Amino acid sequence: MTDMAQDKSYERGQVIQIINSVIDKMEQNTAPTHEIVSHIAELAQTLDKLKKEIAETDAGAAKEEQIRSATDELDAIVSSTAEATNDILAACEQIEKYAEENDIPQIAEYVSNIYVACGFQDITGQRITKVVGAMRVIENKVDRLLKMLDDHVGPIPGAPAQVADLPADTSASNSNEPVSIETVDEKKDLLNGPQLPEKAVTQDDIDKLLAEFD
Amino acid sequence: MNMNVLVVDDYQTMVRIIKNLLKQIGFSNVDEAADGKEAFDKIQSKEYGLIISDWNMEPMTGLELLKEVRGAQAAFSNVPFIMVTAESKTENVIIAKQAGVNNYIVKPFNAETLKSKIDSVLAA
C-alpha cells in the first residue's frame, strides 16, 4: 500500500471513529457538551482538509478539459479512419473496374479481401464509441462528486459553476449479471457493441446455436 | 441476379463494403439505408428479395426493423432477413432468431461467410 493510500485509509477510519463517538455520546447523554462540540469541530477540520485535497486534485479542470479533450480526440479518430477507409475502398473499386475491363478475375478475390479487412473501421468505431460512453459516465460522476462536495463543504476551486440538474446516473447496472431473455430491455441491454476477442462468440458458435432452432 | 437487396447500416463504410461484396457475388440491384426507419420506408415502397441489416442503429435498431417487417400484414413480411452485427452475445442471437431472423453473421466477417449465408437463406 502506498503512503497516500495509507493516509486516505487512516482519514476515512478517523472520520468514522469521530462520527460514531459523537453519536454514542449524544445517545448516552454522558459527555459534557464541550466535548461533543470539540468532536464536531475535529470532524469539520477533517472535512476541510479533505476539501482542500480534492481541490488540489483539480477534478473540475479534469472534467472540463482533459475528459472533453480525450472524447474529442477519440471522435477525430473515428472520423479520420472513416475517411481513410473510404479512400481505400475507392481505390479498390477502381482496381476492380480495371480488372473487369482487362479480364483479370484473380484480382477480384484479392480486392474482396481488402473490402472485408476495411470492416475494421466499423468495429473500431463502435469500440471507440463505447469508450466515449464510459468517459461520459466518469464525467457525470465527477460532476456529481463536485456537486455533493459543493453542497456540503463549500465551493471547490476549478469545479464547473453549474452542476445541478444532471441526468440520472444509470451507470450502476452490473453487466456481469446473467440476462434473462424474457426480461431483457432490448433497446439498452442488447446493445453492447463488439466483444473483446477472448470473450467473443464466434461465427461457428452462432451457427451451432441457430441450428438448434431448426 | 435481378433480385433487389437492401443493405441497412449506419456506418457508410460498412454499407460500401457489403455492397461491393454483393456485387462480386452477382447482385447488381442493391439499395441502402442508414437505419431501421429509413429501411422500413423503403421496404414498404419497393419489393426486396433480401434484407441485410446491422443491429445497433438509431433511431430504429435492426431488431426493431426485423419485428416491424415480420409483424406487418404485407407481402414483404416473409422476406429473407440476415443480421450482420458486432452484437455477438448468445442472448442477441436467440432474440433475433425468436423475432424471425433467417441468419446471423457476426462482424468481422469474411466474403465466404457472407456468400454462404446468403446462399443458405435464399435456398430455403
> A75 with A145, same domain?
yes
User: What does B53-116 look like in DSSP terms, one character per residue?
Assistant: E-S--SSS-HHHHHHHHHHSSSGGGG--EEEEES---HHHHHHHHHHT-SEEEESS--HHHHHH
Of A49-53, A115-119, B103-107, minimum mean pLDDT range? A49-53
Residue A178 placed within a domain: no
Provide the grid cell at A34.
Answer: 464541550
User: Distance (Å, rounded) from C-alpha B74 to C-alpha A150?
Assistant: 59
Alpha carbon B72 to chain centroid, angstroms? 17
> A63 with A37, same domain?
no
Of the candidates B13, B86, B98, which has its C-beta nearest A86's C-beta? B13
Residue A68 placed within a domain: yes
> A38 with A92, same domain?
no
The yes-or-no verdict on residue A175 having pLDDT over 70 is no
Q: Cβ–Cβ of B20/A122 closer than 8 Å?
A: no
Residue A114 placed within a domain: yes
Chain B residues lying within 8 Å of A188, measured CB to CB: none
- Return the ∠ at Cα A106 (arms to A100 and A107), rounded to 5°: 60
pLDDT score recorded for residue A89 = 95
> A130 with A82, same domain?
yes
> A28 with A83, same domain?
no
> A44 with A134, same domain?
no
Residue A168 placed within a domain: no
Number of domains in chain A: 2
Strands B29-33 and B81-85: unpaired
Task: Tell me the pLDDT tens digit for each residue of B49-88.
Answer: 999 999 999 999 999 999 999 999 999 999 999 999 998 8
Nearest alpha-carbon partner for A154 in A52, A2, A28, A12: A52
The yes-or-no verdict on residue B111 having pLDDT over 80 is yes
User: What does chain A look like in DSSP terms, one character per residue?
Assistant: --HHHHHHHHHHHHHHHHHHHHHHHHHHT-S-HHHHHHHHHHHHHHHHHHHHHHHHHTHHHIIIIIIHHHHHHHHHHHHHHHHHHHHHHHHHHHHHHHHHHTT-THHHHHHHHHHHHTTHHHHHHHHHHHHHHHHHHHHHHHHHHHHHHHHHH-PPTT--S---SPPP--TT--TTSPPPTTT--HHHHT---SPPTTTPPPHHHHHHHHHTT-
Residue A167 placed within a domain: no
Q: Does A181 touch chain B (CB under 8 A)?
A: yes
Q: Does A154 touch chain B (CB under 8 A)?
A: no
> A53 with A117, same domain?
no
User: Distance (Å, rounded) from C-alpha B63 to C-alpha B92?
Assistant: 9
pLDDT score recorded for residue A66 = 76
Chain A residues lying within 8 Å of B111, measured CB to CB: 112-113, 115-116
All domains of chain B, ordered by start, with CATH? Answer: 4-123 (3.40.50.2300)
pLDDT score recorded for residue A176 = 43
User: Distance (Å, rounded) from C-alpha A170 to C-alpha B55?
Assistant: 22
The yes-or-no verdict on residue B97 having pLDDT over 90 is yes
> A28 with A63, same domain?
no
DSSP 3-state of B30: strand
Residue A34 placed within a domain: yes
Mean pLDDT of chain A: 75
Over residues B3-21, the mean pLDDT reads 95
> A115 with A127, same domain?
yes
Q: Which is higher by pLDDT, A109 or B22?
A: B22
User: Distance (Å, rounded) from C-alpha A101 to C-alpha A104?
Assistant: 8
The yes-or-no verdict on residue A9 having pLDDT over 50 is no
Q: Does A196 touch chain B (CB under 8 A)?
A: no
User: Distance (Å, rounded) from C-alpha B64 to C-alpha B45?
Assistant: 18
Q: Does B113 touch chain A (CB under 8 A)?
A: yes
Q: Cβ–Cβ of B17/A210 closer than 8 Å?
A: no
Structural domain including A96 reads 58-162
Q: Does B56 touch chain A (CB under 8 A)?
A: yes
Contact call for residues A123 and B108 (beta carbons, < 8 A): yes
Mean pLDDT of chain B: 94
Alpha-carbon torsion angle B44, B48, B49, B52, nearest 10:
-90
> A90 with A49, same domain?
no
Task: Tell me the pLDDT tens digit for each residue of A131-174.
Answer: 988 888 888 887 787 777 776 656 655 555 544 444 444 444 44
Of A26-30, A65-69, A140-144, minimum mean pLDDT range? A26-30
pLDDT score recorded for residue A4 = 44
Q: Which of residues 68-107 of B touch A (CB under 8 A)?
A: 86-95, 97-98, 103-107
> A68 with A27, same domain?
no
User: Distance (Å, rounded) from C-alpha A32 to C-alpha A165?
Assistant: 43
Residue A149 placed within a domain: yes
Beta bridge partners of B103: B82
> A101 with A24, same domain?
no
Over residues B98-105, the mean pLDDT reads 96
Provide the grid cell at A206.
Answer: 452462432
Neighbours of A52 (CB within 10 A): 12
Contact call for residues A59 and A145 (beta carbons, < 8 A): yes
